[in-house]
Amino acid sequence: MNDIFKGMKPTRRSFLRGAAAASVGAAAGGAARASSDPAFAEIQPWMQELGDPVDAAPYGMPSEFEAHVQRKTVYWLTADPISSINFTPLHELDGIITPNGLCFERHHSGAAHVDPALHRLMINGLVDRELVFTMEDLMRFPRENHVYFLECAANSGMEWRGSQLNGCQFTHGMIHNVMYTGIPLRLLLAEAGIQTAGKWLLAEGADAAGMTRSIPMEKALDDCLVAFKMNGEALRVEQGYPLRLVVPGWEGNMWVKWLRRLEVGDEPWHHREETSKYTDLLADGKARRFTWEMDAKSVITNPSPQAPLTHGAGPTVLSGLAWSGRGTIPRVDVTLDGGKNWHQARMSGPSLSKSMHRFYFEFDWNGQPLLLQSRAHDSTGYVQPTKNALRELRGTNSIYHNNGIQTWHVKKTGEAENVEVS
Amino acid sequence: MSRFPDVLKALAAATLIAPAAFAQDAAEAPEGGFGLGREATTEEVAMWDIDIRPDGKGLPVGSGSVELGEEIWSYNCAHCHGDFAEGIDRWPVLAGGEGTLSDDRPVKTIGSYWPYLSTVYDYVYRAMPFGYSQSLSPDDVYAITAYLLYSNYIVEDDFVLSNENFSEIAMPNEENFFMDDRAETELPQFTAEPCMTDCKEQVEITAHATVLDVTPEDGGEGGGGGID
């Protein structure tokens, strides 16, 4: 748009700008501004001058004052940044929906840039008709909209041996919660016709890792989606554009991105991501396999090590997130004293099955140290356990599925640290 | 006098009682399906369906020796995994670790941990080498798989792996995997109504993150346990 006006002198915009600059001088020379609050000390430029034109950012970005709100990696976790992970800044977010650009990333051979015109979804194996769909074909199937959390099974995996990372972004940030638009997987499978021997499904990605996972048919026919939108817009590249599998409530690794193939079989495949990885090694050297469901979990996002209390004693908002792979979260308990006494938090916002839930606990901080914890209850009656209760059952070598209660030690200064308590 | 009829007031009251209104009508398919998509050709399925199962289903015809595997390995794999599959930097260690699974720091390798040999073939054939996937021939992958068996002391140096003898190889740790049993072993224990008041007399801090100091902003060198 701006180009059209180039060469026309003066443009209406440049004229208005000039007028605005002139009036700054006029105002400054006028009445003295009497306030010790810098917000009142002078007329701020945004109060006087014109803002951006409508097309300054054809795809809008957050305010420059929010530039610190970013996904972050922990560089020593993985061998390189290609087969790696970064973390959602949970302490900067509120409500239950994760903005698309802040959803944590986990790739095994980098984020593939797939041309949708050359993307195909194949269904093969124990089906009546082996089929190939274009993206255009898929857009003609009925769609559903659902909000689900996706949590990496390794979320909090660095904390098995004790407090390690200072910040809920790092201890709990391998999770995001978005609204998916997608085709119920059962409709696609019905189109191919599942044979009676077909009890398992192999989902495969189109990236160079060719990510594969075995999924029991019962789950595939229950609530899985083949999704192409997240929060209303196309999937982000790093979330599997143009097509990903949604496996509600189950570990994130199964939500195959860049989904290109679904094979129906009579047995599981026991591929790399379900044998050498994503199996839970217990203290006795034996390992659980197929630990698909994510146990109920919660974390206080504010205050937390990256989000200290800066306001001193007085009214204080404690906030956090809770979720369960088995249903909703009707209740979260919060303690300020390391578990001596608990209080029911206030749930706020949509309570959807296998979605994040937001909770608040408002209190009058006396300025003394706090030991904050939250404890989720899910709709099956499951109560989030302590980390030590999990260690007693599993040891400390599991890596995956650490849903133990998190403790933040808030000091008198308002700074917070990741600790564990007796 | 209210501008709103009583029926709207009643509706508003009902909404207050049951505020959650998330429409979830299931999408349905017509009898016989939609007829969308097209039949995959046999060739198309063969190009994409390259996965292997523990029972050997999917294995291509072919073979490869430990000797050839060592050569292919040195060019394609050793850069990250080391000459003897011992792993370089934080790249996966693929050999050794026998008897360490119940140690404080278990070493999970193909020999010490992986339950099935088919997983090695399947993964290497589809996803390796890192950054040049699907560039190896079936015979190359048999050879690399044979070399990994040799590196883990499961076969001798004159061994030749093929689709014929593949299923005869049993991995040492296969029996130590079991199906998720949390429903029986954990859920009953974690469903009790918890204590709400006067639950503990004393609370002591038993661990601090600042002791390890590995959070990225702090520039820590780190590494108290990885994610995989």
ipTM of this model? Answer: 0.89
- Kindly state whether residue B65 falls inside one of the protein's structural domains: yes
By CA distance, what is A120's nearest residue in B? B37
- Interchain contact, B226 vs A77, CB within 8 Å: yes
DSSP secondary structure letters along B170-225: PPTTGGGEEE--HHHHTTTTT-SPPP-SS--S---EEEEHHHH---GGGT----S-
A138 and A205 both lie in a single domain: yes
Domain count, chain A: 3
Domain count, chain B: 1
Domain residues for B151?
Answer: 60-172
Domain residues for A10?
Answer: 2-60
Which DSSP state fits A357?
E
Peptide bond into A58 cis (omega under 30): no
A254 and A388 both lie in a single domain: no
A325 versus B223: which is more confidently predicted? Answer: A325
Q: Which of A132, A269, A271 sits opposite B44 (nearest CB)?
A: A132
Per-residue model confidence as pLDDT tens for chain A (422 residues): 344 444 344 444 444 444 444 444 444 444 556 788 999 989 999 999 999 999 999 999 999 999 999 999 988 888 899 999 999 999 999 999 999 999 999 999 999 999 999 999 999 999 999 999 999 999 999 999 999 999 999 999 999 999 999 999 999 999 999 999 999 999 999 999 999 999 999 999 999 999 999 999 999 999 999 999 999 999 999 999 999 999 999 999 999 999 999 999 999 999 999 999 999 999 999 999 999 999 999 999 999 999 999 999 999 999 999 999 999 999 999 999 999 999 999 999 999 999 999 999 999 999 999 999 999 999 999 999 999 999 999 999 999 999 999 999 999 999 999 999 99
Radius of gyration of chain B (CA): 28
- Kindly state whether residue B29 falls inside one of the protein's structural domains: no
Do A195 and A253 meet the contact criterion of CB atoms below 8 Å apart? no
Which DSSP state fits A29?
T
3-state helix, strand, coil in chain A (%, to 5): 20, 30, 50
In this predicted structure, the answer to whether residue B212 has a pLDDT above a threshold of 80 is: no
Domain boundary among A222, A253, A288: A288
Buried b (16+ CB within 10 A) or exposed e, A308-322: bbeeeeeebebbbbb
- Interchain contact, A397 vs B200, CB within 8 Å: no
- Kindly state whether residue B207 falls inside one of the protein's structural domains: no
- Kindly state whether residue B34 falls inside one of the protein's structural domains: no
- Kindly state whether residue B217 falls inside one of the protein's structural domains: no
- pLDDT for the residue numbered A32: 59
CATH of the domain at B118: 1.10.760.10
Q: Which of B24, B44, B215 sits opposite A166 (nearest CB)?
A: B215
- Kindly state whether residue B100 falls inside one of the protein's structural domains: yes
Which of A96, A146, A221, A271 should we substitute to test contact with B (largest number of B Cβ atoms within 10 Å)?
A: A271
- Kindly state whether residue A66 falls inside one of the protein's structural domains: no
By CA distance, what is A145's nearest residue in B? B24
Do A241 and A235 meet the contact criterion of CB atoms below 8 Å apart? yes
A&B contacts, CB < 8 Å: 296
Residues in A 350-409 with any Cβ partner in B closer than 8 A = 350-352, 371, 375, 380-385, 389, 393, 397, 399, 409
Which of A143, A179, A199, A275 should we substitute to test contact with B (largest number of B Cβ atoms within 10 Å)?
A: A275
By CA distance, what is B48's nearest residue in A? A261
Distance from CA of A302 to the nearest CA of B (A): 17
Q: Which of B87, B100, B99 is nearest to B148 (CA)?
A: B87
Distance from CA of A39 to the nearest CA of B (A): 31
- Kindly state whether residue A23 falls inside one of the protein's structural domains: yes
- Kindly state whether residue B52 falls inside one of the protein's structural domains: no
- pLDDT for the residue numbered A35: 85
Question: Rounded to an integer, what distance in angstroms lies between the CA atom of residue A63 and that of residue A94?
Answer: 16
Q: Which of helix, strand or coil describes residue A243?
A: coil
Domain boundary among A288, A306, A338: A288
A329 and A267 both lie in a single domain: no
CATH of the domain at A267: 3.90.420.10
- pLDDT for the residue numbered A25: 45
pLDDT tens figures, B67-84: 999 999 999 999 999 999
Is the CB of A83 inside 8 Å of chain B's CB atoms? yes
Q: Which of B211, B210, B202 is nearest to A338 (CA)?
A: B202
Neighboring chain A residues of B48 at a CB cutoff of 8 Å: 122, 124, 204, 260-261
Residues in A 43-62 with any Cβ partner in B closer than 8 A = none
Beta bridge partners of A360: A319, A346
- Kindly state whether residue A73 falls inside one of the protein's structural domains: no
Domain boundary among A288, A315, A349: A288
Q: Which of A133, A371, A417 sits opposite B37 (nearest CB)?
A: A133
Angstrom CA distances, A23 to A9, A18, A34, A35, A97, stand at 21, 9, 20, 21, 43
A207 and A173 both lie in a single domain: yes
Distance from CA of B123 to the nearest CA of A (A): 6
Q: Specify the residue for token string 């073939």.
A: B121
By CA distance, what is A222's nearest residue in B? B26
- Interchain contact, A422 vs B203, CB within 8 Å: yes
- Kindly state whether residue A385 falls inside one of the protein's structural domains: yes
In this predicted structure, the answer to whether residue B219 has a pLDDT above a threshold of 50 is: no
A333 and A242 both lie in a single domain: no
- Interchain contact, A154 vs B195, CB within 8 Å: no
Q: Which of helix, strand or coil describes residue A218?
A: helix
A149 and A95 both lie in a single domain: yes
Q: Which of A163, A342, A420 sits opposite B196 (nearest CB)?
A: A342
Q: Which of A274, A282, A266, A230 is nearest to A390 (CA)?
A: A282
A120 and A252 both lie in a single domain: yes
- Kindly state whether residue B92 falls inside one of the protein's structural domains: yes
Mean pLDDT of B175-204: 97
Pairing of strands A225-230, A244-246: antiparallel
